[in-house]
Structure 1
Amino acid sequence: MKAVFKAGLAVIAVATSGTALADLTIGVVLPLTGPASGLGIPMQNGFKLWPQTIAGEKVRLVILDDATDPSKGVQNARRLVTEDKVDVLMGSGATPVAIPMADVAAEAKTPHLAMSPAPLPAGKDHWTFRLPQSNGVMANAIVAHMQKSGVKTVGFIGYTDAYGESWLQELKPRLEKASIQLVATERFARADTSVTAQALKLTSANPDAMVIVASGSGAAMPQLALVDRGYKGKYYQTHAAATRDLMRVGGKAVEGTFVSSGPVVVAEQLSDEHPSKAQGLKFVQAYEKMFGAGTRNQLAAHSYDGHLLLEQVVPVALKKAQPGTPEFRAALRDAIENAQAVAVSHGVLDFSPTDHWGFRPDTGVIMKVVNGDWRLER
């Protein structure tokens, strides 16, 4: 396998020998720069674990940087489907970029594996399937833990964009059903460097727990502000914060924090009966061999899971057409939608014609930051 880096475009093209028609071409759009780069960079690393072939077809990866900019993401997606004629479009790791990418995929009739929990209107995800767990699935885990912990009131601070809004809309009905009151709601932009005013309002409400909806190292900033202003209740973070960037930036301030996550981050702590333990351990061992001990994260595992899904569905599509053709792309979309449930590192993917989210409602786990490491809450 030969990697070619084009600095101006932040592109990685994994090239193989053989004709273009024989290649299975995967086009990837990630936020490798900009406010969401903390998501995109580990996702990019996850692609480095992909095999050279899938179902006997040589894999060609083309990875482009969207700079956390929806217009750039759309531009990249259009290039991939028109110039590279990709068989699969993947991305973005940033929800506000993944949403308009879905429109490009639909127009081009190209299967789209979203790398973020992108909410789309009913009927708009015909060509789009999500690799991350839905915010609703992760909210299930958080609210269940709150109930068990006796939480009665909650404060919320999250991004002003689609990721933050989706989390808020998923949390509200679940909190209400659990008789937990949402007493304060604050928002901030991904590029903000201070949330002092929001922290003051939240601490004055003095809820039992705070839910912080942000990603990567940016998830630590609101918590640091709340700790600085004396808030001593429980903290909950979402699956976009399930990386060591949270602990690296937050330090002692994030000790005791509860973080929703896919099971792969604590693979060794799963029961032997857990359906994701085998694939989770395989990912962790391969990833940490390449990038170092303790580097596993929620985000890179989504990239890894992409190839596990394709290994199941590409053979089905190949019975109808060859890569590089519209017929193959249509067959691949149908194969994903009708595939048998497959255990991946993050849970069990079970797509259907009425469910392009895939993961089951009980997929999320809750981890606790203990002595700068993750501990699975049981």
Structure 2
Amino acid sequence: MKKRWTALALAAAGLIAASGAAMADVNVGVTISATGPAASLGIPQKNTIALMPHTIAGEKINYIVLDDASDTTQGVTNTRKLISENNVDIILGSSTTPVSLAMIDIVAEAKTPMISVAASAKIVEPVDAKRHWVFKTPQNDIMMSLAIVEHMANNGVKTVGFIGFSDAYGEGWAQEFAKAAALKKINIVASERYARTDTSVTGQALKIKAANPDAVLIAGSGTPAALPQTALKKIGYAGKYYQTHGVANNDFLRVGGKDVEGTILPAGPVLVADQLPATNQVKASALAYVHAYEKAYGKGSVSTFGAHGWDAGVLMTAAVPVALKKAKPGTPEFRVALRDAIEGLKEVPGAHGIFTMSPTDHLGLDQRARVMVTIQNGKWKYIGND
């Protein structure tokens, strides 16, 4: 009998050990907009997840990927599911500002770190009790606004018309661009809004043309950002066209066609990585992503939105080994340690820039994370750093 109980005890110990090994895996929850209006952002991000490491510091990494369909309610549902059912150690996503903002309360309540791949500074600013748990990888609107305004001022633009999404992305850009424009005494003579799902913006375009600005800034992202430019071209507006870094992918070129020729915008270095001078400090890390993505998905397939996802993975990969020294995956202590490790990262090279986080800066990018580009013959062309 004693031998029988000894055998059973050993078997039970083996099961516990096996269970412990499984629980030691790092579970990564991902919610991105692979369908819906923001699909041109989410699809390359979903593709990029497949390129991320499946082992870090000897620990297996499991990715649970869900589609939020560009919808805030679904994004919240996904986040709750990943935390409560999948016991994830970290959340990556979502692709858009509205969805990411809606996720903040959930991750803060669960004390689970989150790295957003959406743009608005409101996702991480100010770093309050809730945003203590939240980081992001895309460049802030003010950084890109300053680059646009600098280019406008250097090219004789005195007046500008603005049209942006009627959501947090558009409003964030309206606020930041107004601040930047005031610094160079550029007058915003028209300001319009439209929904991501709109199929016509003729009324807004006519109002902007009537104001006769020297240039127009369109604050949209993905393929819906081509709509105002097409409408303005159709009614004969002949001024300069600027877009935000939210359009920096090939789907925008395809949808916009000849109507977006000559467009000027700020973008992350990865968009024109092969055109950057050898002295550019981000060129090597940007090219590393380009080569990895194009090897998997084909020449010319890379996009800046996928690169934001890649950078989220870069930050996670750098932080996990630090957190593992303090706690075991699957525990509250590990999630705290992982959050702290991300906040402590210094000079980490990504596809879009060099990241240095701090307790008051949960983006960690500087001016090395932006370049100016234009669209020439249906392709992106590097034109400088400001």
Q: TM-score range by the shorter chain?
A: over 0.9
Paired residue for 1:260?
Answer: 266
Equivalent in 56, 59, 65 of residue 58 of structure 2 = 56
Higher helix share: 2
Equivalent in 239, 242, 254 of residue 233 of structure 1 = 239
Equivalent in 175, 180, 184 of residue 190 of structure 2 = 184
- Equivalent runs, 1:1-40 vs 2, <5 Å: 19-40=21-42
Equivalent in 56, 65, 68 of residue 66 of structure 1 = 68
Equivalent in 84, 94, 97 of residue 95 of structure 1 = 97
Task: Compute the displacement of 1:92 (Å).
Answer: 0.8
8 Å CA contact 1:140–1:361 kept in 2: the answer is no
In the alignment of these two chains, the number of paired residues is 362
Paired residue for 1:271?
Answer: 277
- Equivalent runs, 1:1-378 vs 2, <5 Å: 19-118=21-120, 119-120=122-123, 122=126, 123=128, 124-361=130-367, 363-378=369-384
Deviations 1:80-128 (A, max 9, x none): 1111111111111011110011111100000100110241463131100
Which secondary structure state, in structure 2, belongs to the residue aligned with residue 102 of structure 1?
Answer: helix
For the residues of structure 2 that align with 1:53 and 1:274, how far apart are their CA atoms? 30
Which stretches of structure 1, 4 residues or more, deviate above 6 A after TM superposition?
none
Q: Gaps (5+ residues) in structure 1?
A: 1-16
8 Å CA contact 1:137–1:363 kept in 2: the answer is no
For the residues of structure 1 that align with 2:369 and 2:289, how far apart are their CA atoms? 17
Task: Compute the displacement of 1:259 (Å).
Answer: 2.0
Deviations 1:195-223 (A, max 9, x none): 00000001111111111111111111110
TM-score using structure 1 length: 0.93
For the residues of structure 2 that align with 1:303 and 1:18, how far apart are their CA atoms? 30
Task: Compute the displacement of 1:244 (Å).
Answer: 1.0
8 Å CA contact 2:116–2:135 kept in 1: the answer is yes
8 Å CA contact 1:54–1:310 kept in 2: the answer is no
> Residue 66 of structure 1 aligns to which amino acid in structure 2?
D
TM-score using structure 2 length: 0.91
Deviations 1:132-165 (A, max 9, x none): 1111111121111112212111111110000000
Task: Compute the displacement of 1:310 (Å).
Answer: 1.8
Structure 1 pair 47–18 and aligned structure 2 pair: CA distance change class (3 A): farther
State the Cα RMSD in Å: 1.4
For the residues of structure 2 that align with 1:204 and 1:19, how far apart are their CA atoms? 67
Which secondary structure state, in structure 2, belongs to the residue aligned with residue 147 of structure 1?
Answer: helix
Task: Compute the displacement of 1:19 (Å).
Answer: 3.9
Task: Compute the displacement of 1:274 (Å).
Answer: 1.7
8 Å CA contact 1:140–1:364 kept in 2: the answer is no
8 Å CA contact 1:263–1:345 kept in 2: the answer is yes
8 Å CA contact 1:288–1:295 kept in 2: the answer is yes
Paired residue for 1:10?
Answer: none
Query: What percentage of residue pairs aligned between the two structures are identical?
Result: 51
For the residues of structure 1 that align with 2:86 and 2:257, how far apart are their CA atoms? 44
Q: Gaps (5+ residues) in structure 2?
A: 1-18
8 Å CA contact 1:23–1:57 kept in 2: the answer is yes
